[in-house]
Amino acid sequence: MRPVFKKAETIENLIEIKGVKHTYTTASGPLPVLDGLDVSVPAGTFAAVVGPSGCGKSTLTRLVAGLMKPDEGEVWLHGERVRGPRNTVGMAFQNPVLLEWRTILENVILPLEIVAPRMSRADRTSRAMDLLEMVGLAGFEGKRPSELSGGMKQRASLCRSLVHKPEVLILDEPFGALDAFTREDLWQTMRDLRRAEPFTAVLITHDLRESVFLGDQVIVLSGRPARTQYVMDVDLPEDRDLDVLYTPKVAGMLGILREQIKIAQGREPGRESGRPVEAH
Amino acid sequence: MLRKVGVPLLAVVVFLALWELLVWANGWPNFKMASPSDLPPAFWQYKELFLVMGWQTLWRTVVGLVLAVIFGTLLGMIIGFSRIARDALYPLLVGFNAVPKATLVPVISLIFIGQHDFNTVLMAFMISFFPIAVSVGIGLSTLEPEYRDILRALGASRMSIFRKIALPKTLPEFFGALKVSATLAFIGTNLVEIVSPHGRGLGALFKSGETNGDYPLMFAVLIALAFLGIVLYYAVIFLERIFAGWAEREGG
């Protein structure tokens, strides 16, 4: 069993991003997106990354996934330099990108066809069914993606990202396009999945409440080009309930994060959120 | 089921009745325009020629179409995956497609003198690969990067990404193009059969009807061609149901 909700300083960092710089070449000249990005995610923890729109958050996920290399700096995964994609990574996006020509079950199985080509059909199916059951999609395995609601599609997409038991789960705003209630449901699903199967996660989000509810640390990126501007350790009980979001403690944390986002957006820090509360 | 077969059948009957009425009301003689009632005797009189020549037209069209599918898909993959190839090949393709193919008949029959089957297949192929190449190319080049990333992030090879994602995702567009190409291929075959007479295929039968002033025969050939076109079209639909049936929305 890997330790799950332990404090950062006691465990090795599974994901380590050091001094990463990256510039895209566009038609209108070079576009620096990352400039001095430092992120450390201890094994088994959940890092939520927030920042202004277009600040390079998605670039961060592509770096960790090994889908691109940074111009400068280093990305380490499990003590190894990331040089390309590796099959210990799972990804889920805002768009659930389910394949319409496959049933939900076949969609969830897809990564196993690449990662574990020798695994028997029965084993694949039972693994996928376990996950589908966990997220409340039992009975929908034979449906086509278009027959499911947005929230259900996203649940299936989460199953697919986890089916091969990845060490690292990369979530690029997976709940961004859902309505508020569905989103809160999925936060809880995410929490339960994590309890059932430990993994290390990086979650990109625009929702500060989501970052606090799911994250063990919240990393605020500055505006473009992004650097690590602020890191908040989320000191909340392991088994969080949605109610925790309505406590004064969390209100204080959200206040700090809001201030930080304003700074990241290049605005004067506001005064309306009251006295900042120290997160530690 | 009854509606699916009955409605199109009824439409055909109504069409034939209107045609008959048009000819009858105008009092047109046979040498001006044949009426549907003239067709069965024409078919019956030349029934063996229709079978033999219809088969010649059909197989040459299908071979040309199969070549168009192979070549068009490969070309579509090249322009779909490579930006440079796309920029380089598009003007050429569009230019080639814009050339009226009738003008090419004398050219190819001069290059390959006497190779009638080859010439005919070549023309069916040349006229029908363009929609396939373009649709496959567009299908592949507009594939959302996220679709590729779900497998690329796992270290999947280009080949398995193509097989598991890009290819099936492009199939609906491919079949859409194939329906157009199937009818185009018939036009190609008949162009050669009519413009470069060599006594084979329904085009030749049409030509001999023209030479002999046998208008019912000419119209019978047109109907036979339409019939073959419909058969091929529905063969494509049948394949589409099997391979891309998932793309069909229910109640659509």
What is the distance in angstroms between the Cα of A60 and the nearest Cα belonging to chain B? Answer: 14
How do residues B223-247 score in pLDDT, each as one tens digit?
Answer: 999 999 999 999 999 999 988 888 8
Quote the pLDDT of residue B156: 87
Which residue pairs from B198-203 have beta carbons closer than 8 angstroms and sit at least 24 positions apart in sequence? B198/B116, B200/B53, B200/B56, B200/B116, B200/B117, B200/B120, B201/B53, B201/B56, B201/B57, B201/B60, B201/B120, B202/B50, B202/B53, B202/B54, B202/B56, B202/B57, B202/B228, B203/B57
Chain B contacts of A99, Cβ < 8 Å? 147, 165, 168-169
pLDDT at position B249:
61
Predicted local distance difference test score (pLDDT) of residue B220 = 92
Q: What distance in Å separates the CA atoms of residue A233 and residue A247, rounded to the nearest whole number?
A: 17
Nearest to B150 among A62, A66, A97 (CB): A97
pLDDT surpasses 70 at A1: no
Question: Which residues are CB-neighbours of A160 under 8 A, at least 6 positions away?
Answer: A90, A92, A98, A107, A108, A110, A111, B150
Tell me phi and psi for residue B163, to 5 degrees. -70, -40
A97/chain B closest Cα distance in angstroms? 6
- Which residue is closest to B152 within chain A, CA to CA? A85
Beta carbons of A229 and A222 less than 8 angstroms apart = yes
Q: Which residue has the higher pLDDT, A168 or A8?
A: A168
Judging by DSSP bridges, how do beta strands A217-221 and A228-233 pair with one another?
A: antiparallel
- Given CB atoms, is B153 within the 8 Å cutoff of chain A? yes
Whole-number mean pLDDT of chain B? 90
- For residue B189 the two structure tokens come to 């075959």
Residues 6+ apart with CB under 8 A from B134: B76, B93, B177
pLDDT band at residue A223, thresholds of 50, 70 and 90?
Answer: confident
Last residue of a domain, one of A147, A166, A185: A166
Residues A180 and A269 in one domain: yes
Determine which of A69-78, A154-163, A178-187, A267-276 has the lowest per-residue pLDDT on average: A267-276
Contacts of B154 in chain A (CB under 8 A): 85, 87, 89, 111, 114-115, 164
How many C-beta atoms surround the C-beta of residue B110 within 10 A? Answer: 10
| Domain count of the fold of chain A | 2
End-to-end CA distance of chain B: 16
What are residue A168's DSSP bridge partners?
A89, A200
pLDDT score of A126: 93
pLDDT for position A213: 93
Beta carbons of A144 and B249 less than 8 Å apart: no
- A216 and A117: one domain? no
Name the percent of chain A lying above pLDDT 70. Answer: 91
Residues A130, A5 within the same domain:
no
Go through the domains of chain B in sequence order and give each one's CATH number: 39-247 (1.10.3720.10)
CA of A250 to nearest chain B CA: how many angstroms apart? 34
Residues A156, A216: one domain?
A: no
Q: Is B159 on the interface with A (CB under 8 A)?
A: no
pLDDT surpassing 60 at residue A11: no
Interior angle at CA A29, CA A25 and CA A35, nearest 5: 60
Interface of A with B (CB under 8 A): 62, 65-67, 84-87, 89-91, 93, 95, 97, 99-101, 110-111, 113-115, 144, 146, 160, 164, 170
Q: What is the 3-state secondary structure (H, E, C) of A112-142?
A: HHHHCCCCCHHHHHHHHHHHHHHCCCCCCCC
- Per-residue pLDDT band at B128 (split at 50, 70, 90): very high
The share of chain B scoring above pLDDT 90, in percent, equals 56
Burial of residue B100, with CB atoms counted within 10 A of its CB: 0-12 exposed, 13-18 middle, 19 or more buried: exposed
Residue B129 in tokens: 């690969």
Q: Smallest Cα–Cα separation from A135: which of A215, A216, A195, A199?
A: A195
Check if B165 contacts A (Cβ < 8 Å).
Answer: yes
pLDDT at A266: 78
Question: Based on the domain organization, do A129 and A234 belong to the same domain?
Answer: no
**CATH code of the domain covering residue A71:** 3.40.50.300
CA distance B175 to chain A (A): 15
Residues A50 and A186 in one domain: yes
Query: Cβ–Cβ of A97/B146 closer than 8 Å?
Result: yes
Return the minimum-mean-pLDDT range out of A6-20, A113-127, A185-199: A6-20
What does the pLDDT read at residue A219?
92
Residues A98, A11 within the same domain: no
Largest CA distance in chain B: 74
Average pLDDT for residues A185-207, to the nearest whole number?
Answer: 90
> Is pLDDT of A5 > 50?
no
Both A25 and A76 in one domain: the answer is yes
**What pLDDT score does B250 carry?**
53
Name the domain boundary from A129, A148, A166.
A166
User: Which of the four pLDDT bands, split at 50, 70 and 90, describes residue A56?
Assistant: confident
pLDDT at residue A173 above 70?
Answer: yes
Q: What was the pLDDT predicted at B144?
A: 85
| pLDDT over 80 at A211, yes or no | yes
Check whether B210 has a pLDDT greater than 50: yes
- Is the same domain home to A13 and A139? no
- B:123-152 residues touching chain A, CB 8 A cutoff: 144, 146-147, 149-152
- Contact B153/A164, CB-based, under 8 Å? no
Phi/psi at B29 (5° precision): -75, 170
**Cβ-defined contact of A85 to B144 (cutoff 8 Å):** no
Instruction: Say if the Cβ atoms of A65 and B244 lie within 8 Å.
Output: no
Whole-angstrom distance, CA of residue B202 vs CA of residue B214: 14
CB-nearest partner of A100 from B152, B160, B247: B247
Average pLDDT over residues B54-68: 95
Q: Which residues of A59-87 are buried (b: 16+ CB within 10 A; e: fewer)?
A: bbbbbbbbbeebeebebbbbeeebeebbb
Same domain, A24 and A137: no
The side-by-side arrangement of strands in the sheet containing A89-93 is A89-93, A168-172, A200-204, A46-50, A217-221, A228-233
Residue ranges in chain A assigned as alpha helix (H) = 57-64, 104-115, 121-134, 150-162, 180-196, 208-214, 248-264
β A228-233/A80-81 pair status: unpaired
Cis, peptide link before residue A225, omega less than 30° from 0: yes
Interatomic CA distance for residues A143 and A36, integer angstroms: 45
- The domain of A110 spans 94-166
> What mean pLDDT comes out for the span A139-153?
92
Is the pLDDT at A110 greater than 70, yes or no? yes
Same domain, A255 and A192: yes
Q: What number is the average pLDDT over the span A144-159?
A: 92
Summary mean pLDDT of chain A? 85
The encoded tokens of residue A114 equal: 């690449």
CA dihedral A37, A42, A46, A47 (to 10 degrees): -10
**In the predicted model, what is the mean pLDDT of residues B60-80?**
94
Q: Which of A166, A189, A212 is the last residue of a domain?
A: A166
pLDDT of residue A267: 60
Q: Is the pLDDT of residue B84 over 60?
A: yes
Q: How far apart are CA B109 and CA B119, in angstroms?
A: 6
Which residue from A79, A37, A83, A44 is spatially nearest to A60, judged by alpha carbons? Answer: A37
CA distance B154 to chain A (A): 4
Read off the pLDDT band of A26 (50, 70, 90): confident
Q: Are B138 and B173 in contact (CB under 8 A)?
A: yes
Q: Are residues A269 and A172 in the same domain?
A: yes
